[in-house]
Amino acid sequence: MTDRTATEPATAALRSLVGKLTLEQKVRLLTGADNWALHAEPAVGLRRIVLSDGPGGVRGESWDGRFTALNLPSATALAATWDPRIAYRYGAVIACEARRMGVDVVLGPTINLHRSPLGGRHFEAYSEDPLLTSRLAAAFVRGVQDGGVGATPKHYVANDAETDRFTVDNRIGARALRELYLAAFEDTVTGERPWMMMSAYNSVNGTTMSEHPLLAEPLCGEWGFDGVVVSDWWAVRSTEPAALARQDLVMPGPEGPWGGKLTAAVRDGRVPEEAVDEKVLRILRLAVRVGALEGFAPAVAAPPAGEDGPALAREVAAAGTVLVRNSGELPWSADGLRSVAVIGHLGFLPRTQGGGSATVEPARAVSPLEGLRAALPATRVDWHLGALAQRGIAPFAGSDLTDPVSGRPGVRLVCRGADGTVILDEHRRDANLARLGSARLAHTATVEVTARYLPARSGPVRIGVAGAGTLRLLVDGTELLREELVHTGEEFGGGLVSPPHASAPVELDAGRPVDIAVRLDLPPRRGPDSGVTLVAGLDLDTGAPDAEIAAAAAAARDADAALVVVGTGPEVESEGFDRTTLALPGRQDDLVRAVAAANPRTVVAVNAGAPVLLPWRDDVAAVLLTWFGGQEFGHALADVLLGTVEPGGRLPTTWPVDEADVPVLSTTPAAGRLPYDEGIRIGYRAWLESGTEPAYPFGHGLGYTTWAPPAAGIPGELAAGDDLLLTVALRNTGERRGKQVVQAYLSRPAGAVDRPVRWLAGHATVTAGPGQTATADLRIPARAFQHWDGAWRTEPGDFQVHLGFSSADLAVTGTVRIH
Ligand code: BGC
């Protein structure tokens, strides 16, 4: 690992560079040059610094899919590994991706907490628990920065939901703020020294975060953060208040509330020039770290060559898969399976990542169907829709298409101005043109896509297009569609989140190509970056949902075993909005019930980034929670189903039986305010208090072997301020090699301070062969014994230490007296 302090630049040398710049030159550096880059400043040898999302892959400087990127499993999948060593490797691979794409700073990890399961963006955050979040986030940041790339913990602080995110005022008590929401960031800042931090959109207790005193304290003072505070995109809305706060950089640019207005504010004495100088100094310090300032050595001279990204994606997806029910069905033995029915929209078109700014464009995404087929070459593996997870158009795979001009796999894209002149004429690798928005397309009036499509199967299908505008679709020269598609939903990143669509039936013959031509006359747009989307492909909606369920159940009855893949779509889990329900969309619950009734060997894989309700969970043979499994999802799922790999995950967040049981549910502000009235009790802390049983508790997850309760000597005494170090022995009592996550919780049965029933204080991961005992070193930090009361304090006396395998399965208890 690199020594991150040895190469820190001499601040005095940087100050002298700041002194060479005019006020205008300095202020210019404090707003982005465009969407993703900072301004260069040749006067001091500063090149542009490039930022890019994000938490589960690196998108690069374009939204529109021309550049493919590694799509790692969602942060919730990473969190479910409970393994900081894996989080470190995940960060290291992200750094390699960033360097490959010319990106200096990655906008992640997302450190906000799963306060309510309705939070729409939980897939890209880790957990409902601050300790687990902080350990994983810290390791991620170390992995990224050891690779010579900056990390950006975000969104500081309390962007725990998306409803009215620009304006919501989260009302949070001092203790909850310190013990939960700030605690999630603290060790990452103090221990890993991130080079950038992102301030959040929301307000906390009346002040928007880009102007908030919390940027100064505890972030910069107490925690010693010396990097750049970047705004969330468009979050800075003021000149003086934000410039007087410890907000350094306004993104995106080049327009914004600083620029000339800030220069004037300095000239008028409303903002001291020293404040500007300090911000510029921090940008130069960042520039040194990433190697963007001439004459200074970067923080990491020789970044390590990364490991194989797709292989890591596969490993993480399996290591984060949580087996929550198994009636002895899993693992499957390949020998005993003559046929498997893969059922569900997501079995064929899985969700490998959440929506919004965390999205990247993978070169491929392995479906459960493909994964199982590859793993079971001698078994008949068929797919049946059963039920839709989301309505819309499933894009044709690029490999089934040929660009008629270049002859390469993919499509020809032509954009024309209002007078018919060609603005753009280029090859695209597939028909998923979900984000065409960009300044160079500002004057596009018509988008045309042509391709030759080679069907793999014979029979009737519906070919369709999603987008907004006046649509014409021709197949082999025959007009199939001519209609107006009107968009009323969300736009994001130059695309439409849920574009309207239309489709028409055609009869295809396997192996006989058809020529597809699409023309979309665009409606007036809101601005040059406003959404242009054109997706051409198949509409899986046959309009006969009962018949689809019946057909899937019949297929399951005829197969040896069934795998049903259910989950959420981008209308449910994305950025900019929260969820309205935890129920699975569409008829997916009916589908699972029908398949389970038809075949007792029904296994369900839940492809959702955050909790959903599973009302049939006790009626199926096995349930795997797979999160958004990244581009290698199908292979990882097959690995777990066949027992090649242990389902290594444990829940980073509680899964409820019912919405009515969830202690903290609402994400909807009233009169602009969202009160965090539950104080220090969110997640399992609140569930334990309420006494209601969730479907699956925090920390829970089964494996394919069995374990004896953990054994550890718990010392009876500890000095206040010391960490408690435990050596825990874990014996694998089963017949297979396996992984276990031992968890330590603290409680305080008698004490003067109000506390949760118990709280996570430490965890460690072991693997052991059959009959073997493994030992884990488990560190409970001194902070776990402390509470916030204007300062961190330790209440002396007896704490109980509970050891076990989930927040609800704690077999071993000992008492430690704190002096
Ligand atoms: C998101 C950030 C993201 C930024 C840039 C914002 O909408 O909240 O997490 O980094 O966009 O894409």
Name the residue of 110, 357, 577, 578 to mutate for ligand 1: max ligand atoms within 8 A of Cβ: 357
Last residue of a domain, which of 481, 512, 539? 539
> What whole-number distance in Å separates Cα of residue 611 and Cα of residue 241?
39
pLDDT over threshold 90, residue 437: no
459 occurs within a structural domain: yes
- Report residue 277's pLDDT band, with 50, 70 and 90 as the boundaries: very high
How far away, in angstroms, is 703 Cα from ligand 1 center? 36
Parallel/antiparallel/unpaired status of strands 602-607 and 622-625: parallel
Phi, psi torsion values for 799, nearest 5 degrees: -110, 145
Q: Are residues 129 and 243 in the same domain?
A: yes
Instruction: Flag whether 658 is in a domain.
Output: no
Which residue's CA is the closest to the ligand 1 atom numbered 2?
232
What is the token pair recorded at 712?
Answer: 């550890």
Ligand 1 midpoint to CA 711 (Å) = 45
Q: What ligand 1 atom has the least distance to the C-alpha of 54?
A: 10
Q: What is the spatial distance between Cα 679 and Cα 177, in angstroms, rounded to a whole number? A: 8
| Ligand 1 contacts CB of residue 54 (under 6 A) | yes
Report the Cα 26 to chain-centroid distance in Å.
Answer: 35
44 and 155: one domain? yes
The answer to whether the CB of 272 falls within 8 A of the CB of 258 is: no
267 and 335 co-located in one domain: no
Peptide bond into 54 cis (omega under 30): yes
Q: Point out the domain boundary residue: 619, 653, 687.
A: 653
Atom of ligand 1 nearest to the CA of 107: 10
Q: What is the pLDDT of residues 647-673, one digit of tens each?
A: 999 999 999 999 999 999 999 999 999
Smallest CA separation from ligand 1 atom 11, residue: 233
CB 198 within 8 A of CB 189: no
Domain extent for 336: 308-390+542-653
Q: Which of 38, 52, 61, 107, when mutated, tests ligand 1's pocket best, judged by the most ligand atoms within 8 Å of its CB?
A: 107
* Cβ neighbours around 10 below 10 Å, total: 10
> Smallest Cα–Cα separation from 778: which of 749, 751, 812, 750?
812
Are 340 and 481 part of one and the same domain? no
From 471, 506, 539, give the residue that closes a domain.
539
- Could you tell me if residue 35 is inside a domain? yes
Residue 48 CA from chain centroid, whole number? 27
Q: Is the CB of 233 under 6 A from ligand 1?
A: yes
* Number of neighbours of residue 543 by Cβ within 10 angstroms: 8
pLDDT at 306: 86
Is 357 touching ligand 1 by the criterion CB < 6 Å?
yes
Q: Is 232 in the pocket of ligand 1 (CB under 6 A)?
A: yes
Query: Is residue 35 within 6 Å of ligand 1 at its C-beta?
Result: no
CA atoms within 13 A on the CB side of 582: 24
Confirm whether 178 is domain-assigned: yes
pTM of the model: 0.97
Amino acid 586 reads G
In this prediction, residue 2 has a pLDDT band, given cuts at 50, 70 and 90, of very low
One domain, residues 238 and 374: no
Predicted pLDDT at 44: 98
Counting Cβ atoms within 10 Å, is residue 646 exposed (0-12), middle (13-18) or buried (19+)?
buried
Give pLDDT, residue 726.
97
Rounded to whole angstroms, the Cα distance separating 200 from 231 reads 7
Both tokens assigned to 558: 């005829």
Instruction: Of 7-21, 275-289, 390-404, give the lowest mean pLDDT range.
Output: 7-21
In a domain, 145, yes or no: yes
DSSP character string of 154-171 = B-BTT----TTTTT-EEE
- Is the distance from CB of 54 to CB of 109 less than 8 angstroms? no
Residue 439 has a pLDDT of 66
CA of 340 from ligand 1 middle (Å) equals 41
For ligand 1, say whether the CB of 53 is within 6 Å of any of its atoms.
Answer: yes
* Ligand 1 pocket, residue 153 CB under 6 Å: no
Question: Does 556 share its domain with 528?
Answer: no
DSSP state of 42: G
357 C-alpha to center of ligand 1: Å? 5
CATH number at residue 67: 3.20.20.300
The answer on 385 and 521 residing in a single domain is no
**Residue 36 pLDDT class (50, 70, 90 cuts):** very high
Could you tell me which of 818, 590, 621, 608 has the C-alpha nearest to residue 722?
818
How does pLDDT run across 174-208, given as a tens digit for each residue? 999 999 999 999 999 999 999 999 999 999 999 99
Whose alpha carbon is nearest atom 6 of ligand 1? Answer: 233
One domain for residues 329 and 208: no
Would residue 802 count as lying in a domain? yes
| Catalytically active residues, by annotation | 232
Q: Which of 209, 231, 232, 574 is the pocket-test mutation for ligand 1 (most atoms within 8 Å of CB)?
A: 232
pLDDT digits (tens, 9 = 90+) for 410-425: 999 999 999 999 999 9
Which one of 159, 160, 575, 578 would you pick to mutate in the ligand 1 pocket, going by the greatest count of ligand atoms within 8 A of its CB? 575
Mean of pLDDT values over 499-524: 95
220 and 111 inside one domain: yes
Q: 463 near 516, Cβ under 8 Å?
A: yes
Q: Locate tokens 């029908």: which residue? A: 594
pLDDT at 3: 43
pLDDT in tens, 307-347: 999 999 999 999 999 999 999 999 999 998 999 999 999 99
Separation of CA 708 and ligand 1 centre (Å): 45
Specify whether 40 is located in the same domain as 182.
yes
Residue 662 counted as domain residue: no
Helix (H) or strand (E) holding 491: strand 491-492
Q: What is the pLDDT of residues 520-574, one digit of tens each?
A: 999 987 776 778 889 999 999 999 999 999 999 999 999 999 999 999 998 899 9
Task: Look at ligand 1, atom 3, and give the residue with the nearest C-alpha.
Answer: 357
Read off the amino acid at residue 487: H
CATH label of the domain that carries residue 735: 2.60.40.10
Higher-confidence residue: 3 or 691? 691
Helix axes 183-192, 130-146, angle to 10 degrees: 30
| Pair 256, 236: CB distance under 8 Å | yes
pLDDT at 728 over 50: yes
**150 vs 133: CA distance, rounded Å:** 19
Contact 603, 562 (CB under 8 A): yes
**Mean model confidence pLDDT for the chain:** 95
CB half-sphere exposure, 213, CA atoms < 13 A: 2
Mean pLDDT calculated for residue range 615-625: 98
Q: Atom 8 of ligand 1 has which residue's CA nearest to it? A: 232
pLDDT at 527: 73
Cα distances (angstroms) measured from residue 292 to each of 100, 506, 698, 768: 16, 55, 43, 46
β strands within 162-221, DSSP E: 169-171, 196-199, 203-204, 207-208
**pLDDT at position 6:** 42
> How many Å apart are CA 156 and CA 167, to the nearest integer?
15
**What is the crossing angle of helices 84-100 and 130-146, to 10°?**
40
Q: HSE on the CB side for 524, CA within 13 Å?
A: 1
Ligand 1 centroid, distance to 168 Cα (angstroms): 17
State the closest ligand 1 atom to the C-alpha of 576, by its place in the atom list counted from 1. Answer: 7
CATH number of the domain to which 333 belongs: 3.40.50.1700
Number of domains in the chain: 4
Centre of ligand 1 from the C-alpha of residue 154, in Å:
9
Q: How far is the centre of ligand 1, averaged over its atoms, from the C-alpha of 588 (Å)?
A: 31
Residues 223 and 149 in one domain: yes
User: Do 566 and 508 share a domain, yes or no?
Assistant: no
Q: For position 440, what pLDDT does the model report?
A: 66
Q: Classify 720 as helix, strand or coil.
A: coil
How long a stretch of residues is the chain? 819
Mean pLDDT of 795-807: 97
Burial class (CB in 10 A: 0-12, 13-18, 19+), 513: middle
Q: Which residues make Cβ contacts (< 8 Å) with residue 135, sequence separation at least 6?
A: 84, 87, 187, 763
Q: Is residue 699 part of a domain?
A: no
Task: Say which CATH number the domain at 406 has.
Answer: 2.60.120.260
Pairing, β 711-712 against β 673-675: unpaired
CB-based contacts of 350: which residues, under 8 Å, 6+ apart?
365, 367, 368, 565, 567, 607, 629, 633, 634
pLDDT at 4 over 60: no
